[in-house]
Amino acid sequence: MQKTHILIVEDEEVTRFSLRNLFEAEGYLVSEATDGESMDQQLQQHSINLVIMDINLPGKNGLLLARELASNRDMGLIFLTGRDSDIDKILGLEIGADDYLTKPFNPRELTIRARNILSRISSTNTESDNAVITFNKWTLDGNSRKMTSPNGDVIAIPRGEYRALHLLIENAGQIVTRQQLIKEMTGRDLRSNDRTVDVTIRRLRKHFESIEGSTELINTIHGEGYRFIGTID
């Protein structure tokens, strides 16, 4: 059985070395890149399951590179960076990153988050129940992780958005808490001041609002969570 393969994109040699040792000790295959060009080379040569990437990189920064990775539905992405700006975190999540840690980081926490993301990638790719769901003339396809609008526009959505929307639809009419959503999306518990769920819901609403005349499908239940109020066909 092929080992899970992690790609570390980091220009600091000491950090890159530490991360390699950390994940190799956990039994993973590990490759390294120092910038976007070398990252592309590694992606062409290997089947990568998870990218752990700094934002501050020579040439294209991590946020730009993440946009290029967003279309790959089978690969996870964690930002590991010294930039602790809320704007950077929100941008990273909006682009489609699965998680975001700041330096200095707890090695044990990083390995747990990586394992959770890899587990969810695997389960998403093997899910067969309710692979295609239709609601309010929209279609959600779990096989391709794409939504098709009533107008026929096809929208590819990141894994976190797919899992959040799928959970809301599965519990249509019921309140789904932010804790339930973050657990479904990332496998971790909700932290104080964590904007991951809010950013994800905002992005889902933008998809729906992009269609003229569309009705509101996700309600905010203040102090509790969110509720899907669409009609499932």
Q: Do the beta carbons of residue 150 and residue 160 sit within 8 Å?
A: no
Classified as helix, coil or strand, 226 is strand
Q: What angle do CA 200, 19, 123 make, to 5 degrees?
A: 45
State residue 23's pLDDT score.
96
Q: Among 179, 163, 77, 178, which Cα is nearest to 127's? A: 163
Host domain of residue 118:
5-126
Residues 114 and 142 in one domain: no
CATH number at residue 162: 1.10.10.10
Which of 111, 126, 141 is the last residue before a domain boundary? 126
Pairing of strands 146-148, 154-156: antiparallel
Q: Do the beta carbons of residue 175 and residue 163 sit within 8 Å?
A: no
User: In sequence order, what are the beta bridge partners of 6?
Assistant: 30, 50
CATH number at residue 81: 3.40.50.2300
Q: Do the beta carbons of residue 143 and residue 132 sit within 8 Å?
A: yes
**pLDDT tens digits, residue range 152-170?**
999 888 878 888 999 999 9
Phi, psi of 40 (to 5 degrees): -60, -40
**pLDDT tens digits, residue range 210-219?**
876 677 899 9
The verdict on pTM exceeding 0.75 is: no
- Mean pLDDT of all residues in 137-159: 88
**pLDDT tens digits, residue range 77-105?**
999 877 666 677 777 777 778 888 888 88
Residues 180 and 223 in one domain: yes
**pLDDT tens digits, residue range 37-58?**
999 999 999 999 999 999 888 8
**pLDDT tens digits, residue range 183-204?**
888 777 777 777 888 888 998 9
- Strands in 138-141's sheet, in edge-to-edge order, are 132-135, 138-141, 146-148, 154-156
Amino acid code (one letter) for 157: I
Q: What angle do CA 190, 81, 163 make, to 5 degrees?
A: 40
**SS3 per residue for 30-97:** EEEECCHHHHHHHHHHCCCCEEEECCCCCCCCHHHHHHHHCCCCCCEEEEEECCCCHHHHHHHHHHCC
- Mean pLDDT of all residues in 114-128: 73
Let me know if residue 28 belongs to a domain: yes
Residues 87 and 146 in one domain: no
Residues 18 and 113 in one domain: yes
Residues 16 and 121 in one domain: yes
**Distance of alpha carbon 171 from alpha carbon 96, whole angstroms:** 24
User: In sequence order, what are the beta bridge partners of 30?
Assistant: 6
Let me know if residue 57 belongs to a domain: yes
User: What is the rounded average pLDDT for all residues in the chain?
Assistant: 86
User: Dihedral sign, CA of 202, 204, 210, 212?
Assistant: negative
**What does R_g of the chain's alpha carbons equal in angstroms?**
18
